[in-house]
Amino acid sequence: MDVDRKEMTDSGFTKRLPDDLVRMSWKNGGGMTTEVAKGGQGSGDQNWGWRVSMADVATDGPFSIFSGIDRSIAVIEGDGMDLHYPDGRKTGLDLNKVVNFDGGDAIEGKLRNGAIKDFNVMADRRYFKAILEIASGPIEIEKSTLAGSILLIHILEGSSILSEANQEDRIVETGETVIGEGIIDVTLTLKSAARAAIVTLEATEHKSK
């Protein structure tokens, strides 16, 4: 996993600060993305099995093609966007709504009312099943994972507390990310007005083959 091991906490979670994140061009060159984290076995023209990022979308245009990749996306800033498929289908992307689709589909994104920012999860379906949730406080969320899984929590705004048995509580603030691997049992407390993107990557049966 591409994370800085110097930021490993006592509980086994890795913390990434906003300055640790990497800005880069989209695969198709149509915009810019901020990579939060990536990991897993790479194949083809990508060096990862899963990847989490945030994209700034300022104009209408096509999504990059990622064959064999399952994608999840949610608008986290702005008035939303509509996804248009070649067969005429349309899916609306409202603020905080998660939409899943095949990364190999030729999809056009059309903005509704100006620029947006979205949160993206991509996973090679041979190795991982990804689940993206956008949660708003005040709320307590319990998360448990099995061996081979990954839990990533990115705080979109506000303050939160990550609690784990026999460990000191961890405060996670706006723009910070915590990542844990393997067997995890934690509680995330989002304070009032806080918002978080929570990604669970579950290992598929093909991972050990």
Give the chain's domains with CATH numbers.
5-17+128-203 (2.60.120.10), 21-124 (2.60.120.10)
Residues in Cβ contact with 30 at an 8 Å cutoff, skipping those fewer than 6 apart:
59, 61, 62, 64
Beta bridge partners of 101: 71
Residue 129, CA distances (Å) to 80, 156, 165, 201 in order: 25, 23, 26, 6
Which DSSP state fits 107? Answer: -
Determine the pLDDT at residue 31. 66
CB-side exposure of 16: number of CA atoms within 13 Å?
25
Backbone dihedral region for residue 28 (phi beyond 0: left; psi -120 to 50: alpha; all else: beta): alpha
Say if residue 32 is exposed, middle or buried (CB neighbours under 10 Å; 0-12, 13-18, 19+): middle
128-173 pLDDT, tens digit each: 999 999 999 999 999 999 888 999 999 999 999 999 888 889 999 9
CB-side exposure of 131: number of CA atoms within 13 Å?
11
Determine the pLDDT at residue 79. 93
Looking up tokens 């603020």 gives 95
Looking up tokens 């990579």 gives 35
Determine the pLDDT at residue 4. 40
What does the alpha-carbon distance between residue 56 and residue 150 come to, in Å, rounded to a whole number?
25
Residue type for 159, please?
A: S
Determine the pLDDT at residue 1. 46
What does the alpha-carbon distance between residue 118 and residue 156 come to, in Å, rounded to a whole number?
11
Sheet holding 61-62, edge to edge: 61-62, 108-111, 81-84, 90-93
Which residues, given as ranges, of the chain have pLDDT below 70?
A: 1-11, 25-31, 42-45, 205-209
Determine the pLDDT at residue 159. 95
